[in-house]
Amino acid sequence: MTAGFHFELLATRGKARAGILHTPHGDIPTPVFMPVGTAGTVKAMTARELATPPLDARIILGNTYHLYLRPGLEVMGICGGLHRFAGWDRPILTDSGGFQVFSLEGLRDIDEDGVTFRSHIDGSQHRFTPERAMEIQAALGSDIAMAFDQCPPGGAPDDVQERALARTTAWAARCAAFDRPEGQALFGIVQGGIDLERRRRHLGELVPMDFDGYALGGLSVGEGPEAMYRVLDGFAAELPASNPRYLMGVGTPEDLSRGVAAGIDMFDCVMPTRNARNGSLFVLEGRINISNAIHRTDPAPVDPECPCEGCQTVSRAYLRHLYLAREILYMRLATLHNLTFYARHMRRLREEILAQGARARLDPLAHEC
C-alpha cells in the first residue's frame, strides 16, 4: 500500500460498505461520488464552491488525455501540478486517458506497446504507452492515478474482449512497475465486459500486482443497465475487501444506489453537470426539464428540501427564464443543484450503512439488510 494512503472500513450493510479513504490531501468518506473536472475544472464551479457545504466535495476527477493536450505538461510543471493550477487543495483522482483515446474511432491505432492517436483539437499526432500515461499523471500530481487500460465497447465480440484483456493486464504490470511520486496511489482496472468469468479471470491477473485500489471499467459503454447490474450484483463484492472499489463513469442516482448495494465505494460521472447544462435537474421523484412550459410561472424552488443556493433563493420560473435566455448564471445554479443532489444522495446511503453498523454493534443478533 502506498505511504499516506489507506482504506479504513467502518461498517457494512449486506454487501454495502461505509469507510474512510485516507490520502495525502485529506480524508474521503465513502461511498463517495467524485465530480468530474475534465479540463481541470468542474464546469461552472469554483474550487471554493465545490468544497463548501452543502456540496462539500472531498475529491474531484481530472482527465489525463485532455490536460495533456491542453494546457500541456509544460504549463502544468511551471504551475506546480494540478492542485495548485486549479486552486484545489483536496484529493484528486486522474484517469489514465485510455477511455478517451480508445473512443477516438478513426483517429487512433492500437498496438501491443500502446496507442498512437490524433488530437481531437488540432489533429496533431501523439502516442500513449502505459509509461507515458503514468508520466503525465505524475506531472499532474494526482493523489490517485489509474493504470492505462483498453476499454472495448459493451457489445464487443469475445475475440476483441480477450485482446483488450491481455493488453490491459500487460499494461497494468508496466504501470505498476513505474516509479510514481511519493504518496501517489495507483488503481488497477478490471475489464471483461459482461462476462463474469472473464471478469474473475482478469481480477486474478491483477491482484498479484498489489494495486492500492481496484476499478470496474468497461461498464455503461452500451451494454444496457440490466446487464451492468448483473455484473455489479455478481462480481463487485469479489474485488479485494481491504481496498477501495471504484465503478468508473457511472451514472444515474439509481446506478449509484445499485452500485453501493453491490459493494462499490467510489463513483464518477459527467451526468449531473452535463444534465444541468442541458436543462435536466435531479429531484427525489426523478428529473425535471426546466424548459417545460409548466415551470414558466412556477414560484416554487426546484426542491424545497435542497440546501443549495438556487433552491434557497430562486424559483423554477426564474431558472427557466435564465435557461431560455442562455444566461451563465443558470449553468452555475443548475450545476450546483445537481452536484448537491448527488452529494446528499451519497451521504444518505452512507448514513444508512453506518446506522446499520451501529445497530449491529449494539445488538449482536441484528440482521443485516
Domains and CATH numbers, the chain: 6-240 (3.20.20.105)
The average pLDDT across 2-19 equals: 96
Residue 39 pLDDT greater than 70, yes or no: yes
More confident of the two residues 37 and 222:
37
Residue of 149, 265, 268, 303 with catalytic role: 268
Residue 369 pLDDT greater than 60, yes or no: no
**Residue 362: which pLDDT band, with cuts at 50, 70 and 90?**
low
Cα-based torsion angle of the residue sequence 128, 133, 135, 139 in order, rounded to the nearest 10 degrees: 120
Residue 312 pLDDT greater than 70, yes or no: yes
* pLDDT tens per residue, range 244-269: 999 999 999 999 999 999 999 999 99
Mean pLDDT of the chain: 95
The average pLDDT across 79-102 equals: 94
Please state at what angle helix 158-176 crosses helix 196-206, rounded to 10 degrees.
20
* pLDDT tens per residue, range 221-246: 888 899 999 999 999 999 999 999 99
The average pLDDT across 8-28 equals: 97
What is the per-residue pLDDT for 357? 73
Residue with cell 439488510: 369
- Sheet of 6-13, strand order: 6-13, 16-23, 26-30
What is the per-residue pLDDT for 318? 98
pTM (predicted TM-score): 0.95
What is the per-residue pLDDT for 1? 81
The average pLDDT across 42-55 equals: 98
* pLDDT tens per residue, range 271-292: 999 999 999 999 999 999 999 9
CA nearest neighbour of 263 among 10, 13, 5, 8: 13
Residue of 56, 95, 113, 233 with catalytic role: 95
Is position 303 annotated as part of the catalytic site? no
Is position 268 annotated as part of the catalytic site? yes
